[in-house]
Amino acid sequence: MDEEIKSIQKVIEISQEIAINYGFQFFAALVILIIGWQLSKVVASLVLKLCERFKLDITLSKFFAGLAKTVLLVFVVIIALGKFGITIAPFVAALGAVVFGSTLALQGPISNYGAGLTIILTRPFVVGDTIRINEVIGIAEEIKLAYTLLSNEDGERIMIPNNRIIGEIIFNSFKNLIVEQTITIDYQSDVEQALDVIKQELANHSGVASDPGAQVGIDQFAENGIEIGVRYWIPTRHYFELKYEINMAIYKRLTRAEVSLSYPKRVVTMTDKAQQLNASGEKV
């Protein structure tokens, strides 16, 4: 019983000694962490407002704000550790060893982050732009360090790793997407009237972008008729809806103007001998 009491007293004495020797340091470190955390949020907010004042892209603004917050928190943690007499040199060495050892395993994610940083800094496109990479077309919704999120008219969300973007050819058409098609009319139709009808319809339609303007002209002289080339820009978010609507409007206008649309035709010419054979009932 006496030994148990002595053990309890010894534990109490050690606890008191730790509290006296390290209590103040722990309290000071906790205060530093709390103040640093709050200060980092204030600094991030100030950086974000400063970027907005200079009208920087929202993705770039958030990146700078997050970077400022992270850097400040790192310094706060270093100061807090110093209150316990802990130096960061061993931690830096250990971190370097871990990073070196995991470089190969994390090569993919690290390359994504590097590519994301390149996209954010160089800004080949921003949120809201329509981009095409290889066969993928969509509107940029979010640009993260690891990936870029696109969406299309069907509501699909397309996630592309950033290392699949950097190094590829990027087509950026901003908020619009081009429609390129041909309309074939008969050689007997009035070509100038057909061109005027199509131009007027595109000019009067509210969905067609005025800059750049629509382009309408003779594309080529084909066997079946004259091919009229039509090029115009419409908002990407309503691409197919507007394209089908405009096609119907052009078709109705051309019909009212009595412009005949062409289609493949085949003319069969029979010689006198073939007609005689056919008349006698023999196979032509």
Look at residue 2 in the predicted model and tell me its pLDDT. 63
Q: Report the CATH fold assignment for 176-256.
A: Alpha-Beta Plaits (3.30.70)
Look at residue 101 in the predicted model and tell me its pLDDT. 53
Q: Edge-to-edge strand order for the sheet containing 176-185?
A: 176-185, 226-235, 215-221
Reported as a single tens digit per residue, the pLDDT across 91-111 is 566 656 655 554 544 566 778
Q: In the beta sheet, which residues pair with residue 274?
A: none
Residues 224/265, Cβ–Cβ less than 8 Å: yes
Residues 72/46, Cβ–Cβ less than 8 Å: no
What tokens were used for 183?
């309309």
> Left if phi > 0, otherwise alpha if psi is -120 to 50, otherwise beta: which for 134?
left
Look at residue 3 in the predicted model and tell me its pLDDT. 66
What tokens were used for 265?
């035709």
Domain borders along the chain are: 2-100, 124-174, 176-256
User: What's the distance, CA 249 to chain centroid?
Assistant: 32
Low-confidence ranges of the chain (pLDDT < 50): 102, 104-105, 284
Residues 6+ apart with CB under 8 A from 217: 195, 228, 229
Residues 132/177, Cβ–Cβ less than 8 Å: no
Look at residue 58 in the predicted model and tell me its pLDDT. 73
What CATH class is the domain 2-100?
mainly alpha
What tokens were used for 22?
């390290």
d(C-alpha 11, C-alpha 42), whole Å: 43
If you search the block for the tokens 């139709």, which residue do you land on? Answer: 189
SS3 115: helix
Q: Edge-to-edge strand order for the sheet containing 170-174?
A: 157-161, 147-151, 136-143, 130-133, 170-174
Look at residue 284 in the predicted model and tell me its pLDDT. 47
d(C-alpha 130, C-alpha 174), whole Å: 5
Q: In the beta sheet, which residues pair with residue 155?
A: none
Look at residue 21 in the predicted model and tell me its pLDDT. 60
Q: Which of 112, 35, 113, 115 is nearest to 76 (CA)?
A: 35
Its CATH architecture, for the domain 124-174, is Roll (2.30)
d(C-alpha 8, C-alpha 1), whole Å: 11
Residues 128/121, Cβ–Cβ less than 8 Å: no
